[in-house]
Structures are given as structure tokens and as C-alpha cells.
Structure 1
């Protein structure tokens, strides 16, 4: 069926004149209800009124009509009726036999006459022919055609010209200065009226930045993390979403990777590459970006790829006109991930150049970002409410793209938007579907593992933090049912909140937690085991490991804020510190038990787990021990040498087991980074760097390059410190990343 025939079967789109100025600017339908249209009222926008109607002649008559005409524009005929009638008769007289069809047939006949001179014009009545043959000789035309054909045969795909190509995800820890075009993440008109201040979730406070450092992004979003409520129905429309409304002035000076890659490049027909990109994403990218090469229940293969295929079919085969924006964002985000991988690994596609895939990735990402922004603003609630899983699926794909390409600003924005969407639409459901749970697991992994290496918070104690200290932790989380926890479900979690759970029953990982707690504990603040968890099926690891990472990160942030409060405030409750110290001891016992394989909730069974998975989990467990003693105890790196050797040995055994089980790897960079930053001896450093180089050569993801850059700079400073024998603490990866304002995204 042709496009014209299929289009004729569908209903014709009606265009109503007289829309309000706001709907005209947004290019949406307007119901023309006065004084403000229903479309603007539904989206919470200010209706800018209706423009004056155009009339052919000003009304003449009574004063009432004259007063009404003052509000309308008028249009006067340029020619009189007599002049227009004369022109009509003159044009009709020049037609062949007085017929338009006969005149067009005459033009066609004269243009086909081989004896006609190229200088003769063909004019029949009001019609004429535009002829280019007079501008060049016939000999030039004959000689030019074979040359063009020869060029096409030699180079079917011309490379896109780029002055200075920048590979996606390139990082430079030593140089944080930025220049170039402004960071134009979002250009929405309905952005926040006043600048949101949320430095503890996204961005950095001005006090943290040194005078010589330019911030990678300067989004100060203040202290809403403890108290901001998402229950308002206008939460998405009021500009609260980071993605749906960012102040452009806040992003001046940032060079986006794709701003540099796409500079000067023309728009490509990226739809032609969709089949190849989707297949490449499923066969190559997905196995390489998961933590472990397991793949029993991959949300990417079960949700994102089928959704992208269905959307592509609707666009091309079915020519559907009502595809929701969230599905389009997922399609373009998956394409961007796949094209970025091809640009980072040129050997995987010899038919196209690196420049081509860089431009495809840049263009696809811009499309995905714009569609996601509009979906969060317009499709979150009625009248165009889309499926929750479509929006969260697209956001997870955008987060993964930002992690793969190493764009920390976008990754942070998408993560915060995903949590807001999850709390507003996901946790408010009475029943969470299996597909939604899969997406929740993906978000939890990305957020917790990403948060573990994010140390750029503003750790200054908030008012609620100090209030909790003064009340001796009497602010406790409500118990068990969904109704009681609804208040907590609607508040964003910044991993800085101070809570008390005496007698710390949530750290007893050998006890099970109920279904409601397991389904709604998206950040795994409760470390007890959950029988219905899906982390083993998705990532090959027990939920206990991920919950202990979350607990350690949260406790480290709280203790750092406590130390700042202790130095700046008087009368800090000593019992509060004792409570934190007791909790750190319980957490230490749980982590060491997990590393020794003596905790029931954190075991990896030999019967249903591959050898490679067991070795990677051993590396993750040993790295978790290192992570705890670095963030909580802050010990000297020499003390952690034994755990570093365990990580190195497990990672090498993991690589050895990959080819025997026909797996690609390379696995997650998290254990290599955590252990490598505590490596003091040269053999340890060489082994860690060799493993990272091999992993980088397999996939080229930004995480491995970032890990190598941070460790190289850290080792240099550690060697200088140990050589001078100064009394200051040994430099750590926390110091390096804070100085460089860098976020190692190892998720």
C-alpha cells in the first residue's frame, strides 16, 4: 500500500483557525475556549489570549459593530473587482482551446521536441518551463555523468567532515577547564521561574569550587532533598523536573561531547541505520554493558529492544501518526547507545566511518532528549498520559547512554528525573507489574552503584539533619504498609538523609523482608533479604551486596555531614555519634560476613551460577570491604593490601573463565577501580591497569578510561606523599575526584 493510499484511508486532520497565542507557539491543538483555552489550563500554562480575526473589509453601520471591529484586523483588496475580472479574461484568452489541461499538454509536447533549440522558451498562457540546459553545454553534461558515477562506486559513504573529532566519553582529570559552545541541554520556555537550588542531589555548591576550577556543570538545586513533595499534580509541569526545565544560564561554559562532535555536520537519515543499530545493540552492546555476563532476564532484551522495534515499525511500515513521545525517546536512545559503541570500536563496523557513527549518535541523542523532555512535560498526566513503563524505559536508556559516553551532567539529570518519575507514578501504584519491577531493578543498580562514587555533594548539614541530631534520632521511618510509607515514597532521596532505625533490624541480612517493603524499597535502605528479588536474574548478584553498597554510601555521607556539623555547631548530641558508630560496626560485620561467604542472603549458589559469575562476585565482595574501610574507617592503603590482591586474583580468574563459557565480558569496572585506588605496590598497579586496558579494548566505554585516569593521577600523588613522609593523610580517590570535579560513573 502506498503512502498516499494509506493516508487516504485514515481520518483527515482538521485544522481549526483562531487558536490562542500559546497553542500557536507550541504548535498544538487549541479548543478556543475563552477567556483561556482548556489545553493551557490542563498543562498549567498561561493562556496568552487570542489574536484578532482578519476580515476582508471593515464593517460599516452602527456604532456597536464599529467598536467590535477595533479588535480585529482588516484586509483590503489590492485590485478592484473590475481589474480582477479583466485579468481573469486575459489569462483565459491565452489558454489553448480555453483549457488548462490542453495548455499543459502543449507544454509537454514542446519540451519533448528534439528539434527545439535550447535557447527557445516554452510559454503557453500563464505557464512556462524552467530550463537549465542553456547554462552548460551538452558536452559537459555527458562528461560529468560518468565522473559522478565513478565517485559513487569508489566511495558509497562519504565521511562527515569534522574539524576536531572528540570521542564520546573522553575525560581528562588533570584538566577541568572548559570552553566552547554553551551547554544547551534544554530550551523549554516553561522552565523554572526561579532557579531551583538542589546542590545535594545535582551539582555543586559555589564554596566547593576552587578559584582555578571551572565546574563541569553549575546546577545549584539547594536543599529540597529532605522535604520536597512530589504529590502535587503539577510537579512535572511547574519546571520541577531537571530534564523538563533547566535554566540555560546555569550551564554556560560546558562543552558537551556531542556539541563538539556534531558541530558543522549535516542532518543524516538515521532511520536507514535503525535495523543494523538495533541488532548491534542486542548482540554486542547489551552483553558488554551488564555487570556480569548472565543475561537470564535482561530488561534491555525484554523491554527496550522490543519497544524500539515496535516504534520503528509504526514509523516506517504502519506510518502511524499517534506514536507517544516516550516510545520515540526509547528508540532514539537505544540508537544513540549502539552508534556510540560503534564509534568507540571502529573494527565492529567496517562499512561506515567513525565520523558517521559519531554524527548518528549525536543526532539520535538530541532526538531522544527532546522527545523525553516533552514526554515528561505533556504525557505524564491527562489528557495525553502515556504508559509509566514507556517513560521509565526511555529514561533508563538515556542514563545508560550518558554512562557509556561519559557525560556526567546528563547522567545526573536523567537519574534524578527517573527517581521523580518513579516516585510520582511508580510507587503510587497499588500493584507493580513485573515489567515495571524489571525497570525498577535497572534504576536501582544505576543509582546505587553510581552514587557510590559520587562524592561531589554539598555535605553542609541541613536544618532537618540538625533537628534529627537534637532529637536523638527520634524521627523514625513509619512501618510496614504502603499508606504509612506514602510520605516517604514521595520524597526524593539524596543519600544524605539522617535516619534512625533502632534496633537496626534492617541490617540483619539473614532475615526476610515483606513484599511491600521489598517492592517499594527502591534504594535498598533495608538490607534484609527479599525472596522475590530479581537482581540475580538480571545482574547475577544477590540483592544483599547492592543493599550493603547503598548502606555504606549513605552512612559515609551522613558521617561526613556529622563531622562538619560537629566542627561548626555547638551542643551536638554525643548519643547521635554513638548511634552512627554502632551502626557502622553492624554494617562492618555484615560486609565481612558477605565477603567470607557466611551470610545466607548473600551467597552465590554453585548449582545455578557460572564460574565467571562466581569470580566476579568474589571481586565485588572484596571490593565492597575496601569500599567500606575507605569511606567509613578511612584507613591507610597498606592495611587493605590483602583485599586488593583478592580483587586482582578474582578479576584474572573471571577473564580466564570468559572464553570457556563463550562470554564476551568485560564486566563492571567498579571492583577494579575501588581496588586499584588502594594499590600501593607496583605489581598490584600493573595487574589492575592491565585488566582495565583489556576491558577497555573490548568495549571502549568511558568508565574504564575514567578509572585509569583517576588512578594514574592518584598513584602519582600517593608516591609523592609517601616519599616526603608528611603528616597529612594519604591522598585518596575521593580527594582526586573532588579536586577535578569528576564523577567516575562505573554503573
Structure 2
């Protein structure tokens, strides 16, 4: 049942005879008055029901009802005779009036770093000192209010004391050597420039870090609150720029990940609510597990890297690195207990954290970490995710992992981190979870009879859900790739087949596999894949629920770029044809990139999804004008989005051009060049 938030008790639950569970904690942010657009905002009460009842009883019992008007008249008379230039306080019974000096209040024009509202943490609510109750140093309690709250503090509430976390703080905030020893965190000057302040919210839970002061100095935007704080004496340390970074992530970064503008993407229904709940929990001083903190700090790191790319401000880069370090530390602790029974965190929370760390590693340009987090995500999905009933949200996360992993594998041709890959495979096999996987653990090529006919085969539910890396041909009506990325599953399946054919080709060349196919059978399979690539649909109509505002022309253009890049990748990876033969397809991808820029003055939705086709086509471009156009698209996309992925991909592409130019007339593919430099 939904709580109707009626006070003092929920009417719906009371009528049904249930114990009201309340409503979820949440913090809403906005740059304008929420009432102007009809949005309702809720705040959690600072006092419990019992405490408010005690306060009401104290107030009403202090003055007889017949004398209430007389007390109010006395207050009015005292207020009229009070000096206009001095502060005063007048109390009669439970009524009172006071005036404070104007300089104690701040206006929005006083400073661009002023917070828009105070959010108090429940840990400070019942501290031993009565002065800390709901107040900060610049807003002391009036004598009458202090007396009323004192009566509440003197009333012991066992249930309240059990719920609040223990506040036995460890006083070693400035002992950086001791902190490094305990938490294995890098506190060298190059990593974090200022001493960190640690706060212990609950025993054996987590230790959130404040960011260096230099990471706060650049916060100059008056439109977004810089800091959510709970008064000077509060022990809870919330990241000073969490709100601004979360806003930037939700407005700018998410725009790059999906071509759709609707709010049903995994980032809108899973990642953003999860991070918002983490922010609300930190604001309220509630303990979080390592998976939630990993995702929270990872999102802040991604957003900070993006702001660094937009502003070229060194402090944003320092902030991003600090958040990345925090996210990695919580990821390490999360993985230590990810497979424990009973579980320490929800399956979705751990998988979201791993996917966020993949994004952090990719954004920061760390190829080794990217590979490691992909492998950890695969191990976790195969061991904990395939042998379970999968909700829609779980399937959304599985699709997000598989989509990114398949594109990553297509350009990871140098077999990096082979030791870790073998370890992950053996771990999955020893756990007994390999039997639930419908695909192989090493991107091997499966056998099929007639690929054209098998592509029309209808997959069953288990086969569709557990064919993680799309090894088996067929159609699965419940696939979510078109809904998330605007790309039919057939595109991903054919890319997966090309990857598997390429690995088989490499194994045959190096004579690493005794069970390799004959040349005739290999060419037959390659021909079947080539026919399917030519028959790929240029538009997808399987998702009839797409909103009207999503431009079908942009989706069609993106699919055209994908199809041409897929063909380029196939001919180079499998047949290794001359680059001159592929120039028409390279120009087709170039035209798609130009069309995307022409229809949007800003970075279009789903721009990151164009990086792969732009890179594949750009590496094979021979004409100088085509190279300049593709390189310019990467530069402009990086300038509009702030994402380092565009700049790093362009740099890799230009290195391949330089290597090709040094080879002269030889038509070396980017795949061979990457293998030679690995």
C-alpha cells in the first residue's frame, strides 16, 4: 500500500490495520521554486511521533485556554514598546516573539557559495549537548525553545537510541600514515592535495571522505547548491560538490549514453534513483554498503572528468581522481564480500557498481582497469545472475553489460590481461555456474547449420536471457537492446560472430587450437555472416512504444553508420581486404557523422554510441578530407560533452594514421598495427 503521509499516522494503513512503513527518503533539487510547476516536495520530520506529541502536550498544558488571549495581548504590548534597533525576546506561557539582528542572515547576493537550504542529520539530533539540537552556531536556541526541547531530551526513548548509529568517533583524522595503513588509500600529495577529514557514521560501515579544499574553490555557480551540511558540529561529511556533479551527470553525461530522450532508460530508472537515494542517505547520516558507495563515488568521478573536459580546470581533474580513488576502494571491499552468503548487498547494487566502475575506467583512459572490471562484471553475472529469476531491471543491467562488453571485445585484439581472463573462467567453472550459461566463456564460435534460417529461429526465454554474449543465432522478442540503445539485437549478434571468427582465425594462424575449422568451413561461415550483414534492417520497428519526440531519422542514420562500420570491420578482420575497396563505406559513415552534427547544435543524444563506427571507419580512411572530417567530429564532440572518450579515441586513430603513412604503400589494417604494438 502507498503511504498517504497523513500525520500523525497514515490513514490508509490505519484503516487496513497495518503498521505504516512510511514513505521513502528522497531529496529533490531544483533551481526554481518547485511550486511553480506543480511539483510537491516532502521533507522528513526532524522529530519522531512520540517527541512531537510530548512537545504539543507541553505547549498546551503551560497555559490555561481561558488565559490564552491575555498572554497574546501581553506579547503584543511588549513588542510595541521594545526598541526598534535591538534584539528582543518576549515570552508569556507557551507564546513568544523575538527579533534577531539582520546581519545574522545571509542573502543569495552575499556569496555565490551559499547553500539553498540546511539539511540536518539525525546523528546530531540527540547529542549529549543540548545546544546542538537542530541548530548551528549562528542560530542559537531561544530560552523558551531550549526549555521545551530539554523536556524531550530528559524523556528516554529506548527505540530511538537503538535506531541511531553509535557515534564513538576515532580521533585520527590528521594521522595520514595511520589512515593509509588501515584503509589502504593513497594519500600522497600527487593523489590528494589536502588532508582528509574522516567521519565514522556507524561502526564497521564506511568512512566517507571530504574532498580537498582546492576542489571546492572552483564551485562558483550560484545556480546550484555547493554543499549540503548539517551545521558545524555535525560529524557527517558529505562531498561538497555532490549536488552539482549529480546534476551535470543527469543533464549532460546521460545524454551521451542513449539516443532516446524518454525517462525509461536504465540510467533513468536504475542508476539515477540509486545515486539519488545514496545522496539522501548520506545527507540523513544513514549507513550505506560498499556497493552503493562505489556507485555513488563512481558517478561523481565520471561527472567530474566530464567537467574537466569542458572547462580544462585542473581542480576538476583533481576532484575526479579523488572520487575515482574512493570508488575503487569501495569496489575492492565490495568484491571481497560480493559472493558471501547471506549476501551483504543487493545483486542490482553490486552490478550497478561494477558497470559504473567500467565507465569510470573508460572515461579516465585506463585500459587495464577497464578490462578487469569487465571481467569482474562477467564473473558476477554468470555466478550470481544467470541462475535466478530475472526481473526487468535485472535484464536491463545485463543488456547494458553485454552491449558494452561486445563492443569492447571487438577492438581488444591484443589479448590483454590474459592471466585474469583465465582466472575468471576457472572461477566460473569451479563454482558450477557455467552450466547456466548458454554461450561459451571464451568467445568461441558455435556450430550452426544454415545461418540465414537460424537467424529467423525464435529463442526461448532461458536461451534469450542466458546467452550473455550473443553466441546463438535466433530472434528473441523480449530483447531490450532497441529500447535502450536504439540498435536491434541482430547487429550485436553479428558483431559477436565476427569477434568469434576473428579469434578462431588468430588461433589458426598461431596454431594454438587443435580443433580449428578447415579453410573451406571457415570461408563458408564467413560467407554466411557476410550475407547477414548485407541484409541487416536499416530501421527497427520492434519497439512500438518509442515516444514521438525521438527522431526516427537520427536512429536510422545511426543504424546506417553501424551497418557500414560492421561491414568495414568484417572485411578487415576476417578477409583483410585492401583499404581502397572500403572507402565508399568509410565515406558513408563520414556522411552519417556530418548529418548528426547538422541536426543538432549541441552534442546529440547517444553521441557515445557513434564512437565505435567513427573509429572503425576513420582508421581505414585514406583521403585527407575524410580524415579531417572524422577527426573534427571527435574534437567537436569532446568540446561539447567534455568526455575524454572522444579525445582518446581520436588520438588512437591518428596514431594508426601515422603508422600507416610510415609504411607507405602497404595497406596495413588497424588491427594488425594494434597487435604489433601490444
* TM-score greater than 0.5 by the shorter chain: yes
Verify: 1:708 aligned to 2:650, yes or no.
Answer: yes
> Is 1:269 aligned to 2:225, yes or no?
no
Change (3 A) 1:661 1:329: closer
Paired residue for 1:342? 307
Structure 1 residues 468-508: Cα deviation after superposition (integer angstroms, max 9, x where no partner) = xxxxxxxxxxxxxxxx995262997233x3x4423155873
Question: How many angstroms apart in 1 are the aligned matches of 2:279 and 2:634?
Answer: 36
Where does 1:8-157 land on structure 2 (aligned, <5 Å)? none
Deviation at 1:547, TM superposition (A): 1.2
Distance 1:710 1:661 in 2: 21
Instruction: Show the counterpart of 2:354.
Output: 395
The equivalent of 2:337 in structure 1 is 378
Q: Can you list the C-alpha shifts for 1:17-68, whole angstroms capped at 9, x where unaligned?
A: xxxxxxxxxxxxxxxxxxxxxxxxxxxxxxxxxxxxxxxxxxxxxxxxxxxx
Residues 1:259 and 1:391: Cα distance change in structure 2 (over 3 Å): farther
1:652 to 594, 613, 623: 594
Q: Deviations over 1:170-226 (max 9, x none)?
A: xxxxxxxxxxxxxxxxxxxxxxxxxxxxxxxxxxxxxxxxxxxxxxxxxxxxxxxxx
Q: Does 1:369 align with 2:311?
A: no
Q: Deviations over 1:277-311 (max 9, x none)?
A: 111111111112x1535555321121111111112
Q: Which residue of 2 aligns with 1:489?
A: 437
Separation in 2 of the partners of 1:602 and 1:734? 35
Do the aligned partners of 1:296 and 1:537 also contact (CA within 8 Å) in 2? no
**Contact 2:252 2:641 (C-alpha < 8 Å) held by counterparts:** no
Deviations 1:559-616 (A, max 9, x none): 1111211xx89xx678633322221111111112117x49998999999752212111
- Contact 2:409–2:499 (CA under 8 A) maintained in structure 1: yes
Aligned position for 1:643: 585
Q: Which runs of 5+ in 1 are unaligned?
A: 10-152, 158-255, 348-353, 465-483, 742-747
Relative to structure 1, is the Cα distance of residues 257 and 674 closer, same or farther in structure 2, using a 3 angstrom cutoff?
Answer: farther
Does 2:523 align with 1:523? no
Q: Do the aligned residues in 2 keep the contact of 1:325 with 1:374 (CA within 8 Å)?
A: yes
In the aligned structure 1, how far is the partner of 2:370 from the partner of 2:417? 21
Say if 1:417 and 1:486 are closer, same or farther in 2 by CA, change over 3 A.
closer
CA contact (8 A) 1:710 1:733 kept: no
Of residues 536, 541, 547, the one that matches 2:487 is: 541
CA offsets 1:704-735 (integer angstroms, 9 cap, x no match)? 2232222222223323333xx4xxx5222123
Tell me whether 1:320 sits opposite 2:279 in the alignment.
Answer: no
1:509 and 2:418 aligned: no
**1:668 Cα shift?**
2.5
The answer (yes or no) to whether the contact 1:292–1:668 under 8 Å persists in 2 is no
Aligned equivalents of 1:587, 1:549: Cα separation in 2: 9
Residue 653 of structure 1: SS of its match in structure 2? Answer: helix
Distance in 2 of aligned mates of 1:651 and 1:587: 26
Find the counterpart in structure 1 of residue 3 from structure 2: none
If asked which structure has higher relative contact order (CA below 8 Å, sep 6+), I would say 1
**Contact 2:561 / 2:592 at 8 angstroms: preserved in 1?**
yes
Partner residue, 2:319 = 360
Q: Cα distance 1:285–1:324, how it changes in 2: closer, same or farther (>3 A)? A: same
Residue of structure 2 equivalent to 1:456: 414
Question: What's the counterpart of residue 55 of structure 1?
Answer: none
Structure 1 residue 449, shift from structure 2 partner? 0.7
- Cα distance in 2 for partners of 1:452, 1:730 equals 20
Residue 363 of structure 1, CA deviation: 2.0
- C-alpha contact 1:299 1:439 (8 A) present in aligned 2: yes
Whole-Å Cα distance in 2 between the matches of residues 660 and 402 of structure 1?
25
Distance in 1 (alpha carbons) for counterparts of 2:353 and 2:409: 20
Question: How many aligned residue pairs are there?
Answer: 457
What SS class does the counterpart of residue 457 from structure 1 fall into? coil
The answer (yes or no) to whether the contact 1:438–1:534 under 8 Å persists in 2 is yes
Given the superposition, is the C-alpha separation of residues 449 and 359 from structure 1 closer, same or farther in structure 2, using an over 3 Å criterion?
same
Which TM-score applies when normalising by structure 2? 0.61
RMSD over equivalenced CA pairs, Å: 4.0
Q: In structure 2, how many angstroms separate the alpha carbons of the residues matched to 1:698 and 1:614?
A: 23
Q: Partners of 1:586 and 1:502 in 2: how far apart?
A: 10
Q: Which residue of 1 aligns with 2:28?
A: none
CA distance in 2, matches of 1:382, 1:601: 40
* Distance change (3 Å), C-alpha of 1:2 and 1:698: closer
CA gap of 1:573–1:589, structure 2 versus 1, over 3 A, is same
Superposed displacement of residue 682, structure 1: 1.5
User: Which has the larger Rg?
Assistant: 1
Please state if 1:437 is matched with 2:395. yes
Q: Is the 8 A contact 2:487 2:559 kept in 1?
A: yes
- Relative to the length of structure 1, the TM-score reads 0.55
C-alpha distance in structure 2 between counterparts of 1:334 and 1:575, whole Å: 45
Partner residue, 1:69: none
Q: CA separation in 2, counterparts of 1:428 and 1:542?
A: 25
Gaps spanning 5+ residues in structure 2: where?
1-42, 52-109, 115-184, 197-208, 212-238, 423-431
Between stretches 338-347 and 653-662, larger displacement belongs to: 653-662
User: Quick one: distance in 2 between partners of 1:582 and 1:713?
Assistant: 35
Deviations 1:371-417 (A, max 9, x none): 12212212432244321111001111111111112111111111000
Structure 1 residue 517 displacement after superposition: 1.1
